[in-house]
Amino acid sequence: MSGNIFLVGLMGSGKTTVGRALAKKLNKRFIDSDHEIEARTGVSIPVIFEIEGEASFRQREADVIRDLTAQQGIVLATGGGAVLNEQSRQYLQSRGTVIYLRAGINSILQRTRNDKNRPLLRTADPRKKLEDLSAQREPLYLEVAHLIIETGRPNVQHLVQSILGHLDLLSGTGNTKISEHLIMQQTAQHSLQVDLGERSYPIHIGLSLLADPQLLIRHVKGERVAVVTNTVVAPLYLESLLDILRAAGKQVTTVILPDGEEQKNWASLMQVFDALLEAKCDRKTTMVALGGGVIGDLTGYAAASYMRGVPFVQIPTTLLSQVDSSVGGKTGINHPLGKNMIGAFYQPQAVIADTSTLDTLPDRELSAGLAEVIKHGAIIDAAFFAWIEANMDKLRARDPEALAYAVLRSCQIKADVVRQDEREGGLRAILNFGHTFGHAIESGMGYGVWLHGEAVGCGMVMAADLSYRLGYIDYVSKVRLQSLVEAAGLPVKAPDLGEARWLELMEVDKKNEGGQIKFILLKPLGAPLITSVPQDSLLATLRACI
């Protein structure tokens, strides 16, 4: 491989700025494909668009990509639409390492608001245009990318260091020289970083990750390992995991708990502590959570508490845990009076999301996980919400590419929110969209009667109804969300717990302040609002949704 680095992403994602700094760090030559087109034609990009049209520009762009990718030792910043050409995508992926710089719509709008050199944004509604471009191009960026880097943080040097670290991780060689064999092996895999300073950690997403011994061992530093799993997951994946750990010389303790949300309790936590103490596990022991959200939350809380904190690794095996609960460091157990009311913020060393494990997931569990996928689109990314609508059949049919993208985009969204608000001081509460109603359903029905994702799906329908009643979203948006939840195979009618019981249960919620129930609502679809609501509106929603 030539050692080339190719940057792809939407306009305004930082390709030119980051590319220059990265080239300097790697002692490579920097080239901007748009600048090359202007140099060849002698006119600016907007003029080419105006005189020749976009189709002609795209052909010029494809010619430039073909020529530039054939060079050696370069960092190339491509135009936002370079990936539209299939041949260009092949050149990019086969002739270097492709890094997708991903930026949110708000960040791009802020960066490009005074830039007159963006012909595609010369429109009355640049936000809508960017959302459309993102929906069209993101699958193509993901198709060619070997690495995905979030550019929400504006510090260029930080981004460059993050990229260099990811290149090291990808190569597995301890330097920035990329192994061609490993690059080809990683094409269907993605890594992204939860950026929390000294508590930062990677999320690895892809097929057959549990078959890669180096990936797991890289994140298990000590000689002692304690694997916590359950009776459903253990027969499927435990032995192969133990083989990898023992082959690496690790001394392994296993804890196999009964399956189910009702097991996320104090007794199970004590069972884990008993096993750790009986095996004389020390503070360098790495705990591994192998299972769904219950195992991940409980193992994380045990890791946070045992000897006042030992390292742990998340290996989520359900869709819900891969897209949500394994990311962000929320750990804990349930109490009969409230869900997740006892726990700690404690970040893992890494998250390894092997999407192959979703093949063995029951249909009901898959649907439950789709609730959290829908949530991420509803609160943050309207274009992603539209993508979910268009691809629900593929998701329920377990299409590998569709599932991988759903997991990746959900993790990107959650990682960005967690970066900004690790301990839920404000912004992070938006991730609880649908959860105020959902937790009440779980507590009121008894843990395990409804799956968490089922309760959240129904809770989102209720939150959308309440948003509509308060004038925050239109009727079409309300119907879109309810229809999507229903298409995912989730319940859209809430259980009749009685109005007094509903209110009592919702009053026991971590978001509440001063005795007031706080709700995450939509204003509009794709944007969240944290607010209290008039009781008459809340009661009207309860009556309508039961």
DSSP-H helix ranges across 190-252: 213-218, 239-247
Query: Does 215 lie in the same domain as 354?
Result: yes
Query: Does 208 lie in the same domain as 182?
Result: no
Average pLDDT over the chain reads 89
Query: Does 134 lie in the same domain as 13?
Result: yes
Query: Does 123 lie in the same domain as 51?
Result: yes
Q: What are the beta bridge partners of residue 74?
A: 29
Q: Report pTM.
A: 0.69
Query: Does 154 lie in the same domain as 64?
Result: yes
Query: Does 483 lie in the same domain as 517?
Result: yes
Query: Does 64 lie in the same domain as 181?
Result: yes
pLDDT in tens, 37-93: 999 999 988 898 889 988 999 999 999 999 999 999 999 999 999 999 999 999 999
pLDDT at 171: 60
Cα–chain center distance at 291: 18
pLDDT at 188: 52
Query: Does 508 lie in the same domain as 423?
Result: yes
Enter the tokens of residue 55: 């189709």
Tally the domains of the chain: 3
> Has residue 381 been placed in a domain?
no
* Catalytic sites, residue numbers: 308, 330, 372, 414, 424, 428, 432, 435, 439, 452
The confidence band for 184, taking pLDDT boundaries of 50, 70 and 90, is very low
- The domain containing residue 218 runs over which residues? 201-361
**The pLDDT of residue 186 is above 50:** no
Highest mean pLDDT among 1-15, 187-201, 468-482: 468-482
**Could you say which of 313, 328, 361 is where a domain stops?**
361
**The pLDDT of residue 181 is above 50:** no
> Has residue 374 been placed in a domain?
no
Of residues 162 and 316, the one with the higher pLDDT is 316
Of residues 386 and 513, the one with the higher pLDDT is 386
Query: Does 116 lie in the same domain as 221?
Result: no
Q: Residue holding tokens 């591994």?
A: 288
Q: Is 275 exposed, middle or buried (0-12, 13-18, 19+ CB in 10 A)?
A: middle
> Has residue 396 been placed in a domain?
no
> Has residue 337 been placed in a domain?
yes
Q: Average pLDDT in the 461-487 region?
A: 97
CA distance 34 to 49: 12
**The pLDDT of residue 162 is above 80:** no
**The pLDDT of residue 122 is above 80:** no
Torsion of CA 196, 146, 387, 451, to 10 degrees: -60
> Has residue 87 been placed in a domain?
yes
Query: Does 47 lie in the same domain as 24?
Result: yes
CATH number at residue 117: 3.40.50.300
pLDDT at 512: 63
Of residues 505 and 150, the one with the higher pLDDT is 505
**Could you say which of 332, 361, 390 is where a domain stops?**
361
Enter the tokens of residue 16: 């030119």
The confidence band for 115, taking pLDDT boundaries of 50, 70 and 90, is low
pLDDT at 12: 85
> Has residue 458 been placed in a domain?
yes
The confidence band for 249, taking pLDDT boundaries of 50, 70 and 90, is very high
Report strand pairing: 338-345 vs 528-531: unpaired
Question: pLDDT > 90: what percent of the chain?
Answer: 70
Average the pLDDT over each of 267-271, 322-326, 337-341 and give the range with the smallest value: 337-341
Question: pLDDT > 70: what percent of the chain?
Answer: 91
The confidence band for 183, taking pLDDT boundaries of 50, 70 and 90, is very low
Q: Average pLDDT in the 122-136 region?
A: 79
Question: What φ, ψ does residue 81 adopt, rounded to 5°?
Answer: -100, 10
DSSP one-letter string for 140-202: HHHHH-SEEEE--S--HHHHHHHHHHHHHHHHTSSSSPPPHHHHHHHTT-EEEEE--GGG-EE
The confidence band for 104, taking pLDDT boundaries of 50, 70 and 90, is confident
Q: Is 116 exposed, middle or buried (0-12, 13-18, 19+ CB in 10 A)?
A: exposed
**The pLDDT of residue 97 is above 70:** yes
Say if CB 460 and CB 485 are below 8 A apart. yes
